[in-house]
């Protein structure tokens, strides 16, 4: 109707569209020997500009160093049993630097190895050195007791 009247603008509304970006998948050989290197692959159905790797209960976030056409590779060097745990990844699109996808399904990594064997070996070596040292001290004490103490030796000169 004439005349048209327009009301005052309402407050701004922020709209977040969830599940708009497909979540990525994370893959790797799930078991690695302690001391070895591991590569995790975070794949996404859309070309992302940045990929991030998360470890459950760890505040450290790893950014990808090697993006491929359909994802990113994360290189984890010299894995130890402390690196065992659940990992996830996410990505963001090149044209929207503030919107990150949901995390991938968790991938459990198990680091097995010889850390406990190394600790056992080091402990064995330390105990062996301690026993060797104690044996030397005991031998020194026994040798000292076998030498007569306080006896006078008379030397006579022959002329």
Give the Å distances, CA to CA, from 79 to 15, 28, 124. 42, 14, 25
pLDDT value of residue 154: 58
The rounded Cα 20 to chain-centroid distance in angstroms is: 32
Q: Give pLDDT, residue 42.
A: 92
Mean pLDDT, the chain cut into blocks of 10 residues (159 residues total) = 76 69 83 86 80 87 75 88 91 76 91 65 73 84 70 60
Q: Is the peptide bond before 72 cis (omega within 30 degrees of 0)?
A: no
Residue 26 and residue 107 in contact, taking contact as beta carbons nearer than 8 Å: yes
Residue 11's pLDDT is what? 86
- pLDDT at 69 (0 to 100): 74
- Rg, C-alpha atoms of the chain: 35
């Amino acid at each position: 109707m004439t005349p048209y009247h327009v009301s005052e603008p309402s407050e701004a509304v922020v709209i977040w569209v969830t599940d708009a970006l497909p979540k990525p998948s994370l893959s790797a050989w799930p078991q690695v020997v302690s001391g070895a290197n591991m590569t995790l692959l975070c794949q996404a159905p859309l070309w992302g500009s940045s990929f991030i790797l998360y470890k459950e209960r760890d505040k450290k976030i790893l950014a990808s160093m090697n993006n491929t056409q359909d994802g990113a590779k994360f290189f984890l060097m010299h894995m130890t049993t402390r690196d065992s745990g659940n990992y996830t990844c996410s990505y963001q699109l090149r044209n929207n630097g503030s919107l990150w996808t949901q995390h991938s399904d968790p991938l459990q990594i198990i680091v097995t190895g010889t850390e406990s064997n190394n600790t056992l070996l080091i402990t064995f070596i330390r105990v062996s050195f301690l026993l060797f040292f104690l044996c030397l001290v005991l031998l020194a004490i026994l040798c000292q007791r076998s030498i007569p103490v306080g006896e006078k030796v008379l030397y006579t000169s022959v002329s």
